[in-house]
Amino acid sequence: MNKKELTEKAKLHLWVLCFEIGERRVGSEANRKATAYVKKVLEESGWKTEATELSVIDWKTDGAILTYNGQLFEVFSSPYSLGCSLQGELIAIHTVDQLKQADMKDKIVLLYGEITSQQIAPKNFPFWNPEEHQYIISLLERGNPKALVCATERNSAIVGGVYPFPLFEDGDFDIPSVYMKDTEGEKLLACTGQIVELESKAVRISETAFNVIARNNVETAKRIVITAHIDTKIGTPGAIDNGTGVSIVLLLAEMLKKQPPKYPIELVFFNGEDYYGVPGQVKYLKQNAGKFGDILLNINIDGVGYREGLSCFSALDIPGNMRGILQEILLNTPEIVEGLPWYQGDHSMFLQNGCPAIAVSSQWLIENIECQDITHTSKDNLSIVGYERVAECAIGIAEFVNRL
């Protein structure tokens, strides 16, 4: 297939994933539609597939309301939080020291300023979990407040373009919480010591989701694992994050069938990269415990195809022979450049288990990670996709894998 044909196919996959299906949050019907779609395409290309069931929670809210004496404050239910309908005395906390000393029992706690500068890692998140975050969570759980109101600022480096950002996005943390803009928090500060009313119409729902894995018939040597996460955050159709990555793996499924590499290939659609519990990744880790030595290389595709700038391949801990092949491909492909190392993706899991990895993404996104306002928002839609970039990445990866 030439670049033009691949570009057209990429368009079709992206149309289905990001327009017909749209937001693919873990546990939703749309998410299951997306995994069924990739499974069907893989089988049509002749791959043996496996869908691994994951027990997850889906989450919905009909909104949240915070009032004091008739005055309304704009708040949002924290994703995956429990709902509530209650009233209590408002206290305000802005440092960890204050949190240590505060009597929070039966209060509604406004968290603002320093303590809300970074999103708190989910309680059971396996890959990145600073002690300070766990400490804040344990202080809150011990203090047992009725609910939390979190005022947050703009922070693109950590949460993409989301403002305000939810301080907690954690289905394992059971204190009901809402979040609001820092500017709204400043107004609410005037109400400390008063009785405020809070309602958050959020519900957690037990659901299922799937990892989809496909394998070719080669079973001799170490395998190459090509990965893309299929889930999105709530509120985005996830075009660049990560409809394009999913589409590239589907293109590769066709290309590598027609021109099979000599290594075993495993194509993995992970469910959960953008979800608090990363269930698909945790499941894969368990399934492969003690067996990461059988993996020659991980190629993880996430954030590819932004219409501005080029695509980039970031080589992480790869051996000399692979580096040589990669350099040749980069030399012959002006649309792909070597990228800076970055670690906020599923390739980190492979690196942590001693496997080399290549992370495929958009140069513009990696270089502007701290100032862009697209990721995890409704702006991440098909209008920002450069379809040719998607086809070029598929061609570059196929060539690399075939030359190993």
Which residue ranges make up the site for Zn ion (CB under 5 A)? 241-242, 302
Residue among 198 and 304 whose Cβ is closer to Zn ion: 304
- Closest approach, Cβ 362 to Zn ion, in A, equals 11
Structure-token match 């005037």, residue found: 190
Tell me the three-class secondary structure of 228-264, residue by residue. EECCCCCCCCCHHHHHHHHHHHHHHHHHHHHCCCCCC
Residue among 61 and 242 whose Cβ is closer to Zn ion: 242
- Closest approach, Cβ 231 to Zn ion, in A, equals 9
Neighbours of 193 (CB within 10 A): 9
Q: Identity (one letter) of the amino acid at 126?
A: P
Contact predicate 272/227, CB 8 Å: no
Contact predicate 246/269, CB 8 Å: yes
Provide Rg for the chain, Cα atoms.
22
Residue among 177 and 242 whose Cβ is closer to Zn ion: 242
* Pairing, β 311-316 against β 336-338: parallel
Give the C-alpha separation, 179 to 314, whole Å. 35
- Closest approach, Cβ 273 to Zn ion, in A, equals 5
Contact predicate 3/399, CB 8 Å: no
240 burial (CB, 10 Å; 0-12 / 13-18 / 19+) is buried
Residue among 236 and 242 whose Cβ is closer to Zn ion: 242
Give the C-alpha separation, 393 to 383, whole Å. 19
Residue among 199 and 302 whose Cβ is closer to Zn ion: 302
- Closest approach, Cβ 134 to Zn ion, in A, equals 24
- Closest approach, Cβ 230 to Zn ion, in A, equals 10
Residue among 77 and 242 whose Cβ is closer to Zn ion: 242
- Closest approach, Cβ 243 to Zn ion, in A, equals 10
* CA nearest to 115, candidates 152, 69, 62, 166: 152
Instruction: Give the pair of three-digit tokens for residue 244.
Output: 């394009």
Instruction: Give the pair of three-digit tokens for residue 186.
Output: 């400043």
* 3-class secondary structure, 101: helix
Give the C-alpha separation, 265 to 39, whole Å. 16
Residue among 185 and 279 whose Cβ is closer to Zn ion: 279
Residue among 152 and 242 whose Cβ is closer to Zn ion: 242
- Closest approach, Cβ 299 to Zn ion, in A, equals 15
Beta bridge partners of 306: 385
- Closest approach, Cβ 88 to Zn ion, in A, equals 38
Beta bridge partners of 92: 110
Residue among 170 and 241 whose Cβ is closer to Zn ion: 241
- Closest approach, Cβ 16 to Zn ion, in A, equals 18
Half-sphere exposure (Cβ direction) of 107: Cα atoms closer than 13 Å: 21
